[in-house]
Chain A
């Protein structure tokens, strides 16, 4: 059986010598079970040790190996070479500053992630001896989908709003805020809203919906953002009709 080979057109950027990214073509052998990440590992091991990219678990759990493959943000460990006709372009995730080759600078996302306070906030913690905060399966179901995010940032790479407006809190961070807002044990919605409900928060979103299309975990961040918009609008209406109500 003759060996199957495919061309990978890979974006290279060396901050020490380049002013803009360039591309480099590598030809790699592949089988039916070869993934884009395997191909990159092959290049790094055999062809060119200087190629830089991120990866860790290699099984779709850690969210490190997101890249634009033929223009679409994907986890390279879950993308097979056999699914593509012709050459494959591998670029760093869109909308992010490129540090080197295929590795992007994720500081902006990390900062936004902490600012949505993705943890359970209680107005008053109950003492340990009073036991756990109980939750029914239905209450769990209300937010479970939104808790599956692996922070791979594919949604940011697919979001044209984030591409134009870097202040936008963005899909994954808002989805995570929504996950805690919907948690029956949580009381931190008002606290999160200062950031999430602002003009650079949910209201920046124009509902293009591509974030949900590229999400490898089926989180549906677009739905989370639209539902946060709705509850924000209802809150506003309530405070208008019942100004004496709970703030």
Chain B
């Protein structure tokens, strides 16, 4: 068939435009994980605010600091909230390092560091830093 014979759709023929559903994020596992990753931001915020409250209490003197520690150690609500926040922040960190492996891939000569190793290495570093801080603030 020559290009001259090619029939252009008649005017009035309409393409069908599929609607974009509001619940698109339930359609695929990857979408759901993405929404969960974005959702962690709320818990990161709440945890940071609680921590900031402690820092402010510390700058306000011993009484304020002790009161902050007191509520933190006696409230089941804060304990459960912190535990939930901890897991969300952990998930957030892992996805952050996964993104890091994609954005700034590490290569040593011919060896390309795989994402799993990149994440494990960075998480290891997080644990080391946490232990050092823990040592100086509690044990040291």
Interface residues of A (CB under 8 A from B): 13, 15-16, 18, 20-21, 71-72, 94-99, 105, 158, 160, 163-164, 206-210, 213, 220, 222-223, 226-227, 229-230
- Beta-carbon nearest neighbor of B22 in chain A: A164
B28 CB to closest chain A CB, in angstroms? 6
Q: Which residues of B contact A160 (CB under 8 A)?
A: 24-25, 31
Contact of B13 among A15, A227, A229 (CB under 8 A): A15
Cα distance A160–B38 in the bound complex, in angstroms:
14
Not counting A20-B16, A163-B20, A210-B28, a sample of 7 additional A-B residue pairs whose C-beta atoms are within 8 angstroms of each other reads A94-B18, A98-B16, A99-B15, A164-B24, A223-B105, A227-B103, A229-B103
A82 CB to closest chain B CB, in angstroms? 23
Are B28 and A206 closer than 8 Å at their CB atoms? no
Are B9 and A209 closer than 8 Å at their CB atoms? no
Are A208 and B30 closer than 8 Å at their CB atoms? yes
Q: Is B17 an interface residue (CB 8 A)?
A: yes
Cα distance A98–B16 in the bound complex, in angstroms:
5
Are A95 and B18 closer than 8 Å at their CB atoms? yes
Are A209 and B20 closer than 8 Å at their CB atoms? no
Between-chain CB contacts (< 8 Å), 28 pairs: A15-B13, A18-B16, A20-B16, A21-B16, A71-B27, A72-B28, A94-B18, A95-B20, A96-B18, A97-B16, A98-B17, A98-B18, A105-B15, A158-B28, A163-B20, A164-B24, A206-B34, A206-B38, A208-B30, A208-B31, A209-B30, A209-B34, A210-B28, A210-B31, A222-B102, A223-B105, A226-B99, A230-B103
A23 CB to closest chain B CB, in angstroms? 13
Q: Is B14 an interface residue (CB 8 A)?
A: yes
- Beta-carbon nearest neighbor of A226 in chain B: B103
- Beta-carbon nearest neighbor of A230 in chain B: B103
- The listed residue with most A CB atoms (<10 A of its CB), out of B16, B24, B99, is B16
> What string of 1s and 0s marks CB contacts (under 8 Å) between B22-44 and chain A?
00110110110010001000000
Q: Is B104 an interface residue (CB 8 A)?
A: yes
Are B15 and A223 closer than 8 Å at their CB atoms? no
The 10 closest A-B pairs by CB, nearest first: A97-B15, A15-B13, A98-B16, A226-B103, A208-B34, A210-B30, A163-B20, A223-B102, A97-B17, A105-B15
Q: Which residues of A contact B28 (CB under 8 A)?
A: 71-72, 158, 210
B49 CB to closest chain A CB, in angstroms? 24
Cα distance A158–B24 in the bound complex, in angstroms:
11
- Beta-carbon nearest neighbor of B10 in chain A: A16
